[in-house]
Structure 1
Amino acid sequence: MTLTFPRLWLLALLLGTLSGCSSGWGSRAWQPPQLRLLKVETVKVQLLQQDFKLHFEVDNPNDSRLLVRGLRYKIMLGELILAEDQVTDWFLVAGHSHEIFVVPVRTNLWRHAKPIAQKLKQRGQPIPYRLEGKLKTGLLFRDSVRIGVDGEI
């Protein structure tokens, strides 16, 4: 009887300590990272191929570092899909910090020349564009952050 009482007491102490760790004493709740498009850089424009660089900023509002595993994106002009691809660069964003990463984009506007020309002929009407993306984060507990940027030309 004397051997089981210390074991039960030790087990209760251990379980009480573990429940305190899971409740997150003194720490804030996890917040999702923020992803912003900073700028679009034109690299090379030719007749059959156009190269751009998209500059993104990832803000990590949490105390712990954030593992970024890649980005899947789609660029649309009206209903036309101009570019759709994914980048699998891995990098870490320190807690309460931000990192800038650059995504190379290659597209061929020549195959969309006729619909784009028709949209440009409609003077006075703006042409809508959209950038959709999904930032993949985490290693064991995988998550994704969505981005959507709309505008008009």
Structure 2
Amino acid sequence: MLYQAQTIKILSLMMLFGLISGLGGCSSLSSGDFKDPEVRLVNVDVVKAKLLEQHFMLRFRIDNPNSFSLPVRGLDYAVYLNQVKLAEGESNASFTVPAQGHHSFNVPVRTNLWRHLRQIVKALEKPDEPIPYRFQGAVKTGWLFGRSVHMSRNGEIIPGNHIPE
């Protein structure tokens, strides 16, 4: 019985040391040689637009400047139009960006513009005047001891450029 308890303790310690030594590979994400990847919103496509619900597809590109591959395990985001939060959510897409490489990925977004209709109609009254937009997000990198890379993109859209004649 005593022998069995000691064997279990020894095996537990060996597993603990094995786990700790295995984490050395993850340390490259937290060490000083880590460079934040560049994340860009490349495109926004309207998938479906109905009165009460709209579906968009946001396309991103992530560039990894590091000499090691970068695991990505998701994205948190919020989209604002004229200071009105249109959508927020989380994508659990997971992939690995190769060293000094890039990867493109899509994030589906669903929103309901009906509750913001008054502000949107007011902004669209002058179709030649730009409307500010803002996209904020955080890409979650690494597996066990990862970090979040924050991003923000501001810009303007001119509604008249998107209204068919």
Q: Do they fold alike, i.e. is TM over 0.5?
A: yes
Give the letter for the 2:105 counterpart: F
Aligned to 1:59: 63
Q: 1:106 aligns with which of 94, 98, 110?
A: 110
Q: Which whole-Å CA distance do the structure 2 matches of 1:104 and 1:124 have between them?
A: 29
Verify: 1:77 aligned to 2:81, yes or no.
yes
Aligned to 1:31: 35
Q: What are the within-5 Å matches in structure 2 for residues 1-153 of structure 1?
A: 29-122=33-126, 125-153=129-157
Give the letter for the 1:43 counterpart: V
Q: Which moved more, 1:127-136 or 1:116-125?
A: 116-125
Deviation (angstroms), 1:121: 2.2
Q: Which whole-Å CA distance do the structure 2 matches of 1:118 and 1:37 have between them?
A: 26
Give the letter for the 1:105 counterpart: V
Q: SS in structure 2 opposite 1:31?
A: coil
| Structure with greater strand percent | 1
Give the letter for the 2:149 counterpart: V
Deviation (angstroms), 1:131: 0.5
| Structure with greater helix percent | 2
Larger Rg: 1
Deviation (angstroms), 1:123: 5.8
Gaps of 5+ in 1: 1-23
TM-score of the superposition, structure 1-length normalised? 0.77
Q: Which whole-Å CA distance do the structure 2 matches of 1:43 and 1:110 have between them?
A: 17
Q: Which whole-Å CA distance do the structure 2 matches of 1:57 and 1:122 have between them?
A: 33
Q: Which moved more, 1:122-131 or 1:63-72?
A: 122-131
RMSD over aligned Cα atoms: 1.8
What is the aligned-residue identity percentage?
46
Matched length: 127
Q: Which whole-Å CA distance do the structure 1 matches of 2:135 and 2:152 have between them?
A: 6
Q: Which whole-Å CA distance do the structure 2 matches of 1:92 and 1:102 have between them?
A: 14
After superposition, the Cα gap between the structure-2 partners of 1:45 and 1:135, relative to the gap in structure 1 and judged at 3 Å, is same
Q: Which whole-Å CA distance do the structure 2 matches of 1:96 and 1:61 have between them?
A: 5
Q: SS in structure 2 opposite 1:48?
A: coil
Gaps of 5+ in 2: 1-27, 158-165
Deviation (angstroms), 1:125: 3.8
